[in-house]
A and B are shown apart, each in its own frame.
Chain A
Amino acid sequence: MSGARARWSFPQLLVTLGLLLIAVVFFFPMIWMVMNSFKTNQAIFRTPFALPESIDFDRWIKAWEVGHIGQYALNSAIVTGVSVAAILVIAASAAFAFSRYRFPGRSLALGLFALGLLLPLQSYFIAQSTMFRQVGILDTRWALIIPYIAMGLPLAVYLLKVYLDALPEELFEAAHIDGASDLRVFGSLAMPLLRPGLATVAIFSALACWNEFLLALLYIQDDRLKTIPTGLLAFSSRYVTDYSLLFSALSIITIPMVVIYVVFNRQIVEGITAGSVK
């Protein structure tokens, strides 16, 4: 790791300064957002760049209370948690089938999931909403969980299959010779070995579920079941002119995600880029 340690040189310093400038400009909208959350409506209008006169979390507390942000976050956590858990188990099991067995119909089934990688949401959500209406699950959490699982599966299956394919054949043969059942091989051998792959899948699936908007907008109207994206939209149209309250709500939603990201940045970056590139 030491070979490339370059000396500080003037052009390098310039580049670093340039990057610093870019980062500051880049972050400015978020800094401005937090600053405005401590200002009154009038101060936001009159002196958009002034620092707030005092740091007072009253507006944040009000945004949390009247905006039901806690409820929205809980809903997002429930929908995301259940969807991700299901994606992990179902996708690992399907990947296990593709990786460890050769059977008639395999390439057809594999092809179906490959199609899933290409299909945009727009190709099915119209009929999906009519189906959900017919079976009466609109405005329940299932209306989000079921499509989120289905949308997350193709990529998860593919990634986990790649991980499984890379495992040495002998491991599995040894287990079979020891008389382990297929289910046991899957549960006690494959799943633990898949852990890094599962972590990657968990990260990008969780983020996708947490941030999904279009289906949440169309399928959930009940305020008590809204997730963060649609909840924030409801909040912003109800308090559209109470700007400091809105900036407070935005800050409350944004800051925890930024903190989580800073703590786990390496895993998250790896998870998200792996999730989209492979």
Chain B
Amino acid sequence: MRTHHRGRAVIAALSVAALAVASSVSGAVAQDRTLRIAMGSPGEAGIRVWEAIGAQFEAANPGVTVDIEFMDDDLYQTIGLPQLLASPNAPDIYFEWTGSRMAQRAADGYAADLTEAVASGPLAGLLDDELFAAATLDGKIVLFPHTADVTNVLWYNVPLFAEHGLTPPTTFEELLAVCDAFVAADIIPIATGNKDLWAAGNWLSHMASRVVGEDVYDATLAAGGPFNTPEWEQAFGYIAQLREHSCVNESANAIADNEGAQLFFQGSAAMHPIGSWLVSWAIDEAPDLEFDFVNLPAMPEGSAGDQGSAIGVETGYMVNANSQVQDLAVEFLALMNSPENVKAYVAAEIVPLARSVADAGVDGRSLRLGELLAGAPAVVLPPDTGYDLEMANALYAAEAAVLGGQATPAAALAALDQQLAR
């Protein structure tokens, strides 16, 4: 009997619940003047700035709701954004990297033409003209640049280096020596969280570009091969040397990029090769940690590239061509670049490209990061944003295999070519 009662109770509860919620089934939220914005998560400090700008915009435009979606980076880059664009609640403004990804969005019909707005509309005069070169397709501006990310420098823990009497490495040989010293002191030399492959992949690709030379790097990645050449084998040989010197944490494959950052923040690792966003993350994650950066150490004699090169990409926001509120979207982009908001970004260690940044009091590491990119004798593009994503993933996987001692440079490169050949 008791079982029966319970069974009945379950059904009763379920049907009550079903009735109660049936009215709210349709998830499509009312369409009246909502401005939707989508991006990969900029970290907690960055999220606060975005939400504040959203509130300003709502206050200035009664009846408009600003709705910002912060997605996991890797998810945003792969499944998230394409699916989001195809949904009925598609974003009106979305983050994108310049390069092949931006071109793909335009080809799929998701890029509004911003040329007018930049020439004579609300976006006029906010940025220097040369910044639009990377944001222009067929003579039309399709992206409004926001920041220029250095995607890889070598961050280091200042007190740890001082404690062991070491100086930050400027050459590959010095890097290996520093690694040896830290290994001897039982400290992880370099932390990386490479579960999603891009974290170390971006770093090692920068290294490779220094060895094979920027031209060969660009030509090979653009054509999707061939990689099995003496130059690339030489480049991958240096990755194998990192392995031989136990430079990288053993857990690299098992942890995500931000867990890798955590090893660095916790002081378990002395160095961390990652992009400029680390400064902004550290505001919440490691407010007391004293850390600084050097550009990727120069590769040894016999390398073809410019040893002062930087790796980086201009990023910005595109307006969805299918958006019903493109005017609002443009207004929002303008508000993002107002002098006050530029200051707010700078306070969160995100340095916009807007002209007014000169008055925003950028200092310390962020200023030098900006100078690094602006002053670099050569800039290479990250494989996963500048080139075909599938090719980039294959390259990253090959680099990870060599870094992890799974394959010799020659074997990894041969397999890579074979994979890309079909």
Contacts and interface: CB of A to CB of B under 8 A. Distances in A.
A137 B88 contact: yes
B11 A77 contact: no
Contacts, number: 116
Contacts of A241: 258-259, 261-262, 265, 285
B88 A138 contact: yes
Interface stretch (A105-113, A118-126, A198-206): A198-206
- In this complex, which of A137, A219, A237 has the most chain B Cβ atoms within 10 angstroms of its Cβ? A237
Nearest to A205: B14
Interface in A232-276: 233-234, 237-238, 240-241, 264, 266-267
A142 B88 CA distance: 12
Given A139-B89, A221-B83, A267 B3 contact: yes
A145 interface: yes
Classify the interface of chain A: helix, strand, loop or mixed. helix
A206 B265 CA distance: 43
A139 B69 contact: no
B164 interface: no
B70 interface: yes
Interface in A121-145: 129, 133, 136-142, 145
A45 B259 CA distance: 13
- In this complex, which of A203, A240, A266 has the most chain B Cβ atoms within 10 angstroms of its Cβ? A240
Contacts of A45: 266
Contacts of B26: 140-142
A136 B83 contact: no
- In this complex, which of B18, B24, B74 has the most chain A Cβ atoms within 10 angstroms of its Cβ? B18
B250 interface: no
Contact of B89 (A206, A222, A238): A222
Interface in B3-35: 3-4, 6-8, 10-11, 14-15, 17-18, 20-22, 24-29
Contact of B3 (A75, A129, A221, A266): A266
A199 B88 contact: no
Interface in B247-299: 256, 258-259, 261-262, 265-266, 285
Contacts of A198: 11
A171 interface: no
B22 A221 contact: no
Interface in A205-244: 206, 217-219, 221-225, 233-234, 237-238, 240-241
B220 to A, nearest CB: 32
B70 A225 contact: no
Interface string B334-378: 000000000000000000000000000000000000000000000
Interface stretch (A5-13, A51-59, A79-87, A155-163): A79-87
Given A222-B69, A234-B71, A238-B72, A202 B14 contact: yes
Nearest to A224: B29
B14 A138 contact: no
- In this complex, which of A129, A199, A217 has the most chain B Cβ atoms within 10 angstroms of its Cβ? A199
Given A78-B21, A136-B88, A240-B259, A218 B79 contact: yes
A264 B72 contact: no
A221 B80 contact: yes
A153 to B, nearest CB: 17
A225 B74 CA distance: 20
A85 B87 CA distance: 26
Contact of B86 (A138, A264, A267): A138
Contact of B72 (A137, A203, A237): A237
Nearest to B83: A221
Given A221-B80, A222-B87, A84 B14 contact: yes
Interface of B: 3-4, 6-8, 10-11, 14-15, 17-18, 20-22, 24-29, 41, 69-75, 79-80, 83-84, 86-89, 256, 258-259, 261-262, 265-266, 285
17 contacts: A45-B266, A81-B21, A82-B25, A84-B14, A138-B83, A139-B89, A140-B88, A142-B25, A142-B27, A198-B11, A199-B7, A199-B8, A202-B10, A218-B79, A222-B87, A223-B69, A267-B3
Interface of A: 45, 75, 77-78, 81-82, 84-85, 129, 133, 136-142, 145, 195-196, 198-199, 202-203, 206, 217-219, 221-225, 233-234, 237-238, 240-241, 264, 266-267
Given A140-B26, A142-B26, 12 more contacts: A45-B266, A78-B21, A81-B20, A85-B22, A133-B87, A141-B25, A141-B27, A142-B25, A195-B11, A222-B27, A225-B27, A238-B70
User: Which 6 residue pairs are nearest across A and B when measured between Cβ atoms?
Assistant: A139-B87, A237-B72, A141-B27, A85-B18, A138-B87, A81-B18
